Structure 1
Amino acid sequence: MVLAVTASFFGCGEGYPRLQELLDVVAHGVPVSVKRQADFEAEWTVSRGNYPLEPRHVPVFDCKVLEDIALGRCIVMHAAIARMYFSTRLHINPVFVVDEGAAKFRVVHDLSALLHGESVNNTTVFEEAPVVGCGHIFEAMLYRIWSLRQAWPRKRILISKMDVKSAFRQLALDVRGPLLGYRYNDLVVVDLRLQFGWRSSPGWWSLAGGAI
Structure 2
Amino acid sequence: MSTPDLEIHYNLARFETSAARLDQCPPDTGAEVAFAGRSNAGKSSAINALTQQNALARTSKTPGRTQLINFFSLNIEGLKIVDLPGYGYAKVPIAMKQHWQRHLDAYLQHRESLRGVVLVMDIRHPMKEFDEMMVHWCEATGVPLHVLLTKEDKLKRGPAKSTLLQIRKILKERLGDKVSVQTFSALKNTGVDTLRQRINQWLLGDPLLEHIDAD
TM-score scaled by structure 2? 0.26
Report the structure number with the largest CA radius of gyration: 1
Write 1 or 2 for the structure with the bigger share of strand.
2
